[in-house]
Chains A and B, each alone.
Chain A
Amino acid sequence: MNSQGLDENPPLFRIRDLTKIYRSGEVEVQALRGVDLELYRGEFIVLLGPSGSGKSTLLNILGGLDMPTSGQVSFRDVDLGELDERGRTLYRRDTIGYVFQSYNLISGLTARENVALATEIVANPLSPETALGLVGLADRMDHFPSQLSGGEQQRVSVARAIAKRPAILLCDEPTGALDSNTGIVVLEVIQDVSRKLDTTTVLITHNVAIADLADRVVSFANGKISEVRNNERKRSARELSW
């Protein structure tokens, strides 16, 4: 889906004047300084920007891992800032799929079981087998993380994230630890499943080339949005190279 059709589509997330201040020891770090943004259903958004520009902070707030200092983030009219611990747990459980740079698989569980870990606690998930099939790992389901390559581990992590049919898929540098060929395979999977499941995907990257996957590219600098750009020609992951 691209931005042309967004008018009849109410925003999934509404972000208003969002700020976040960290206290790190005796130093105050202003990670976000008044961010306004709206995210729509089915959209693929890439957040670009140098380290410390605030994009991960935004992602963590969207994912219910962090709380805003001021401003408002609402998801389907629910103010995330108002949620308590329990509320945020449920929000993460039912709404969010997360993919990190480090795959964060549980080494004591097989690929299938890692996915099942996520599906066991939600209503109406994909079966672990289906999810792993979607990421092309149907034949590696019973392998433990130590028996999988980095790219395969990241695909399991994608499968785990999308198996519960999340409304929103958050990916923080998903290819950061991978070589380019493997990275492209992982991006392909992310692009493919988010399209099939009509998931809103927010992906953080340093890599400008990856921005070509997006419907919209949001650039960050110094805790603020410096630019929002609609992609004229959205490319498929297969066409990328870096």
Chain B
Amino acid sequence: MNALDRKLLRDLWRLRGQVIAIILVTAAGVAAFIMAMATVDSIEVTRTAYYERYRFAEVFSALRRGPETLVPRIAGIPGVQQVSTGIAHNVILDIEGMEEPVNGLLVSAPEKGPESLNNIHIRSGRLIRPGSSDEVVVSEPFARANQLLPGASLYANLKGQKRKLHVVGVALSPEYIFFAVPGTLSPDDRRFGVMWMDRKALSNAFDLDGAFNNLALTLQPNASESEVIGRLDRMLVDYGGVGAYGRADHISHATLNGEITQLRASIHIAAPVFLGVIAFLLHMLMMRHIETEREHIGILKAFGYGDSQVAWHYAKFVILIVAVGVMIGMGGGVKLGRTVTETYAEHYHFPFLEYGLRSSVFFEAIAAYGMAGLIGAWGSMRRAARLEPAVAMRAPPPPVYRRTWIEGLGIVLLLDQSTRMILRHIIRWPMRSALTIFGIAAAIAILISPFGITGSVDKMIDTHFFQAERQDLTMSFAQERHSSAIYDLVLAPGVLRIEGFRAVLASVGFGGKSRRITVLGRQADGVLTRALDRRQRPIPLPDRGVTLSSSMAQWLGVSAGDYVSLEFLQGRRMSRQVPVTAITDSYIGLSFFTLFMDRGILNALMMEGDVISGVHLKIDPLQQQSLYAKIKEIPSITGVISHGASLATMRRLLQETLKLTFVNGMFAVIIIFGVIYNNARISFTERSNDFATMLLIGYGRRDVYFIVLGELTLLTLAAMPLGCLGGYAFAWMLTEGTANEVFRTPLHIESRAFGIAMLFALLSVLISSITVLMKVNKMDIVEVLKTRE
């Protein structure tokens, strides 16, 4: 090792405090990046492999009843590769020890053989014995939540007949990675489960002998999905088809897509912040370092070192710091990525996990951080290269201070000299002060934004459960019933209020765009479910036309007053033009897929009588138990949603999000600390002379503390409002920016989030200050004053 490199290592050691701080920030940034990339890549790779291995279909459709003879015709549609039919039916389950009724989706087990679609992966137990009428394979999440291991049994209400079913296996399916009861916000594994059953047994139970009500297709390469869907829909009209859809509208696939998009977006927002902070920290460190190294640079040049050699010497300084940071970050990122990916895989119930971190991600990290480092150090390297040896060996002239406009205000005259020193130092280096303020602000912003997300989810929960949907239970019927069915339930125990609704599948269209949605007809005088405007005020149901969510309106490009086309996919399949009478504020996929209107008008548009598809109930909690018992006995009910349970599920999900918030919070704390600590140290080195002079004149060390702390506190205070604004902007980007057409959360940040972020900033000031104050304590006045830097 040559002497210059040895000097380099010693310099790094001498500046170790700041060097370590920068290494930590770099490592945190790289780790966060790798972790997120690893997670997203792994999820995508695993999903693709999962879909391929278990032959997840590409087009799906439900219908009332299609004869098996239809299959060759469907297979004949140009572009169709393979057809798979089946039976699927919602049922109410009765599980021992569970008071409330549970929703089940009974699906015919895929046929054995390589050509079957939407295959299942048996996790434990076995497949159903062909011909058995009471065996079921249960989806793993549901099995876990309810401890339904092979050997367990449960009851299902099959068209009025209560049947005991035996669990023989536990399985996973690519079709139900994410699956929630229609009408709920999130999967509730305890109250909703998919179960596979022998097809023959199901067709007997639901009168579908020789027929099917569920269809899945794969497409030939280069086939047009929309053309196939169009032809299929026309073919299925006579069989009660309710509109085919591709993977993009498949709820499980779409939910997973939404999460992946969100993860990717958050990487793109967080990464530049880290890079900016690194560039800034290195800029500060190197500027100061070169300043103190003037004499050395002069000597090196006097000895015959070239400008580029000198610049390279300092470039290596930066490269080493960044390299160590990147290496630690990569190691940590891979480790964290594995843990987080495993958590996600667990959350998504993937049967296997393919850790899919691309090697290019490492190169991206190295390139990005290398660039950030060089950008940060560029100015000082150039300065080192350009210093004339003679100039370099002379002591630097005192930094130029001038009166600034602020002093014109006369405020400065009222201040003591110490405060003046603080102010002038900040104003003297406006760029650096601004960058420091910016750095602290960025860190505060990073700290606030994840809180913003949890705040937003909280807000969404409040809006959905306490403002918009205020019922305790929602029950849906197997088939439409006359609204007088309400009276059958009015007398059920504990029912306080009951409101009927009509739900119809339809295709909504405007200006060439169309989408499969649900039109929800609500009771005109209903109070349990309400549409809300942007300010969360309930909007009365208009007596004509439809209301739709702002995200849907945006997607279609309609505003109030426009006419949209509604093509009902059920009943007489009427096509109607209806006016948009109001646009409601809504946040989530559910309302994206839903249009609201008056039930009477909806039924009139469909040319049907006063029918309902289900009811919303307000119940007396004291009588809940008897009500549940009664519901389990009513054959016409195929779905029950307890809003209390959904709320609890959402809250649990929120808790999980908070864990991620904690990781982000740790990164932000590292940034805040890195920025503040570096600033404190550099400011101290630069002014140790001033401080020694103060001590010499007879000031106490406490007066020096005042200046050190004062300056940092002032910069931090200035950064706070900026950081809060930035945090708001970040959170906005993370919610609005990552919202896709289906998923959107409202931006809502609790004031607590701002408070916590600022508290962390102040805490970092305190900790950084302590290290500097320790330096002040150890400062040898004579030493400092005699050796001019």
- A residues sitting closer than 8 Å to B (CB atoms) are 60, 63, 65-66, 85-86, 89-90, 92-94, 96, 98, 100-102, 104-109, 113, 116-118, 120-122, 142, 144-147, 153, 160, 164
Interface pair B420/A65, CB less than 8 Å apart: no
Is B399 interfacial (CB-CB < 8 Å)? yes
Query: Given known contacts A104-B692, A109-B421, A117-B417, is B400 in contact with A144 (CB within 8 Å)?
Result: yes
Interface pair A65/B699, CB less than 8 Å apart: no
- Across the two chains, which residue of chain B brings its CB closest to A113? B417
Of the listed stretches B325-333, B734-742, B754-762, B779-787, chain A binds B779-787
Question: Which 10 A-B pairs have CB atoms at the shortest separation, nearest pair first?
Answer: A93-B698, A108-B424, A107-B398, A146-B400, A117-B417, A92-B698, A145-B398, A144-B401, A104-B693, A106-B690
Query: Given known contacts A144-B400, A146-B397, is B698 in contact with A118 (CB within 8 Å)?
Result: yes
Interface pair A96/B698, CB less than 8 Å apart: yes
- Across the two chains, which residue of chain B brings its CB closest to A57? B782
Q: What is the bound-complex CA distance between A70 and B702, given in angstroms?
A: 29
User: Which of A94, A113, A122 is the most central at the interface, judged by chain B CB atoms within 10 Å of its CB?
Assistant: A113
Is B788 interfacial (CB-CB < 8 Å)? yes
Interface pair A92/B398, CB less than 8 Å apart: no
Which residues from chain B contact A164 at a C-beta distance below 8 Å? 698
Interface pair A66/B782, CB less than 8 Å apart: yes
Q: What is the bound-complex CA distance between A100 and B693, given in angstroms?
A: 10
- Across the two chains, which residue of chain A brings its CB closest to B424? A108
- B residues sitting closer than 8 Å to A (CB atoms) are 397-403, 416-417, 420-421, 424-425, 428, 689-690, 692-701, 781-782, 785-786, 788
Smallest CB separation, B698 vs chain A (Å): 2
Which residues from chain B contact A118 at a C-beta distance below 8 Å? 697-698
Smallest CB separation, A152 vs chain B (Å): 12
- Across the two chains, which residue of chain A brings its CB closest to B400? A146
Smallest CB separation, A236 vs chain B (Å): 28
A-B residue pairs in contact (CB < 8 Å), sample of 18: A65-B782, A89-B698, A92-B695, A92-B697, A96-B698, A102-B785, A104-B689, A104-B696, A105-B693, A107-B690, A113-B420, A116-B417, A120-B416, A144-B398, A144-B400, A146-B398, A146-B399, A147-B400
- Across the two chains, which residue of chain A brings its CB closest to B694? A117
Q: What is the bound-complex CA distance between A160 and B698, given in angstroms?
A: 12
Q: What is the bound-complex CA distance between A151 and B696, given in angstroms?
A: 21
Which residues from chain A contact B700 at a C-beta distance below 8 Å? 86, 89
Residue from the list B428, B698, B786 in contact with A108, Cβ < 8 A: B428
Q: What is the bound-complex CA distance between A60 and B398, given in angstroms?
A: 25
**Known contacts A85-B701, A92-B698, then 10 further A-B pairs from the complex at CB < 8 Å, ordered by chain A residue:** A89-B698, A89-B701, A90-B698, A93-B697, A93-B699, A120-B417, A144-B401, A144-B402, A146-B397, A146-B399
Which residues from chain A contact B403 at a C-beta distance below 8 Å? 142
Smallest CB separation, B653 vs chain A (Å): 54
Interface pair B693/A106, CB less than 8 Å apart: yes
Smallest CB separation, B715 vs chain A (Å): 15
Q: What is the bound-complex CA distance between A122 and B786, given in angstroms?
A: 25
- Across the two chains, which residue of chain B brings its CB closest to A104? B693
Q: What is the bound-complex CA distance between A65 and B424, given in angstroms?
A: 28
Which residues from chain A contact B420 at a C-beta distance below 8 Å? 108-109, 113
Residue from the list A85, A90, A92 in contact with B696, Cβ < 8 A: A92
Q: What is the bound-complex CA distance between A109 and B421, given in angstroms?
A: 7
Interface pair A107/B401, CB less than 8 Å apart: yes
Residue from the list B401, B698, B785 in contact with A100, Cβ < 8 A: B785
Smallest CB separation, B711 vs chain A (Å): 11
Q: What is the bound-complex CA distance between A18 and B424, given in angstroms?
A: 43
Q: What is the bound-complex CA distance between A120 and B782, given in angstroms?
A: 23
User: Which of A66, A117, A160 is the most central at the interface, judged by chain B CB atoms within 10 Å of its CB?
Assistant: A117
Which residues from chain B contact A106 at a C-beta distance below 8 Å? 421, 690, 693-694
Query: Given known contacts A145-B398, A146-B398, A146-B399, is B782 in contact with A60 (CB within 8 Å)?
Result: yes
Q: What is the bound-complex CA distance between A37 and B490, given in angstroms?
A: 111
Which residues from chain B contact A92 at a C-beta distance below 8 Å? 695-698
Query: Given known contacts A107-B398, A120-B417, is B698 in contact with A94 (CB within 8 Å)?
Result: yes
Which residues from chain A contact B421 at a C-beta distance below 8 Å? 106, 108-109
Which residues from chain A contact B399 at a C-beta distance below 8 Å? 107-108, 146
Which residues from chain B contact A160 at a C-beta distance below 8 Å? 697
Q: What is the bound-complex CA distance between A65 and B785, given in angstroms?
A: 11
User: Which of B421, B696, B701, B781 is the most central at the interface, judged by chain A CB atoms within 10 Å of its CB?
Assistant: B696
- Across the two chains, which residue of chain A brings its CB closest to B699? A121
